[in-house]
Amino acid sequence: MPPFFANRIKRLSKSPKGYLVDTGMACHHAAMSSPQALGGSANLYHWRASTGAEVDCIIERDGWLHPIEIKLTAQPTRKQTLGLQGFRKAHPDQRIGHGLMLCAVEQPRWISEDVLALPWNLL
């Protein structure tokens, strides 16, 4: 997954980040029964600033950026959203949706005014 950077001059970590993905399993768990159910395409990125702030996954679709953090915790805190907040502050000219934190919570809940914690086993 390539890194996201809007300003090519700023000092950022531009190393790719790898994720292992089995598309067949993803489609099965998303209950997609045909190729037509996949819909449009999206670009995937990760982001890391020289300060250490990072976002695990950024989905770019239809002119919007959707930052996502993935955590093991069942008790997410506002402090764990610092990477999402840093990304938003570093790109004030971009259209950025609410941040998501995929984690081991039982039910969806807001961690802050713009970050929603979602259980990773919704399906």
pLDDT digits (tens, 9 = 90+) for 94-120: 999 999 999 999 999 999 999 999 998
Residues 6-54: tens digit of each pLDDT: 765 555 555 666 554 677 766 666 666 667 666 767 899 999 999 999 9
Considering the entire predicted model, what is its pTM?
Answer: 0.69
Residue 102: predicted pLDDT = 96
Q: What is the 3-state secondary structure (H, E, C) of the chain?
A: CCECCCCCCCCECCCCCCCCCCHHHHHHHCCCCCHHHHCCCCEEEEEEECCCCEEEEEEEECCEEEEEEECCCCCCCHHHHHHHHHHHHHCCCCCECCEEEEECCCCCEEEECCEEEEECCCC
